[in-house]
Structure 1
Amino acid sequence: MRWLWIFLGVCWMYTPSLAQEPEDIWEMLDESLRREKEALPGEIEFGPPGLREEKERPELMERGPRIERAIALDRPVDPNSYIVGPGDGFVVYIWGQVNQFHELIVTPEGKLIVPYVEPVPVAGLTLTEAKKRVVQKVRERYRVDVSVELKALRHIRVFVTGQVARPGAYDVSPAHRAMDVLSSVGSRRNIRIFRRNGDTLCVDIDRFLNLGDLSANPYLEAGDVIYVPPRGDVVHIYGAVKIGNRNAYELRSGETVADLIELAGGLREDALPEAELVRFKDDG
């Protein structure tokens, strides 16, 4: 690993050599699960362990039932981004010409079956779209007011592989983000998510924590394979930057000087228009 120390600012551009991606992610997954079974006798208990890559980082999520409470209290489901799927639970209130109350679960075929109303396909829709479709179908049958609410989140299974403390399978909800299942000991900024449809997403924990960039910490989907490569080359930034409590940042391919300064919160108002650059070779 190469190290770079930068004081007051950054005047350097570098392209790190990322760890080579496995040729067959599914073979890697099988090997990861095999190692966990050998290491942990008996039945494996699944659940997000929380992020603990550094001592100064508090645990962000805990395992077991507390995960569901944290999601409900701290991160309400966004109806415009949450995708409905089989297993999601709904409550449907109907009042007016008739008065009804129904607790319903989306079927394995992706439909919500309201009594005396034709089955409503909702899987694959956003929560907002699904609610509108159910209301529309009920009102085609009755002259009523309708309220549709999401009551319970379905469970999905994702797989965590690579340089992590506990590789394996995890049961989570679609309201969990990538960071919720990572206890990373490898890369923090070059994590990849391989999706069933062939898409590949990049997870950048530092960018999410420092800048609040939600796109760097995407929601999980059923069947996601999360791969954490070894940690890449690192830059240390000291001096007049706004985020000074953490100075070491892993490099990503193609990053510029401006990218690294932004990741450190940008320069403070009292920053001088100059910088000192110190480089170390592999041999020290």
Structure 2
Amino acid sequence: MIDRRGILWGVLGAAIAASTAGCASGQGRTPNRVQRGGFSDIAFADWTDAEPEYLLYPGDEIEIALPTATELTRTLRVGPDGRVALPLIGQAMAADRTLSELEYTLSEAYAAELVRPVVEVTLKQAGPIRVWVAGEVRTPGVYDMNGDIDAYQAVVQAGDFLATARPQEVALIRRGPGGVRMMRVVDLRPRRGEVVALRRGDILFAPRSTLGELANFFTQIRNALPIGFNYSINGQFQQF
């Protein structure tokens, strides 16, 4: 039997290791040693609020237009497996690709069928934002959020903090530009904490106590990894 949690943990660990290796070689972002709130000596890429280029996701509605063969134009929803079905070329992977990357992939696929395989991809409507809320909350799990939602609202949807939680020291893990993993500590105390907008794929982890040791932090994250959380592994979209 495949240890799905172990696989997903390996993906997160690989991302962290990659950011550390980039620092050692002088390439990529410098890992950020988070000092606040007891999360010490945890190497992630430097935090940035810059919006990475949009990656398609299951549930997104897109238009795939072929100006030179308009009868092949389709408006489709990306399926749960990350694929779309198109005339002449069949199934094509769309999830975890930018619009321009998908245009290139489809143009290559249509090259065997059309003289001028020009493809234009437009995002018509984004699907729900999927985030994971874990740790000391009443109902940890993966949640689909519609519309703009902040971190504390996600915690409320997960049943709110348990009495054992430290809401002033919640770890927010996010994929940054280039796919690197970033982490910052946020204060989510009701009426006293920060208002932090969430993005697709964000992970919120509410600790029971300060997580001063790297091993302790990773052990808690690994044990809480959810089945059903979507990640891209080596360019192939996976749903565990």
Question: By percentage of residues, which structure has more helix?
Answer: 2
Point out which structure has higher relative CO (alpha carbons under 8 A, 6+ apart): 1
**TMscore range, shorter length:** 0.3 to 0.5
TM-score, normalization: structure 2? 0.43
Q: Which has the larger radius of gyration?
A: 1
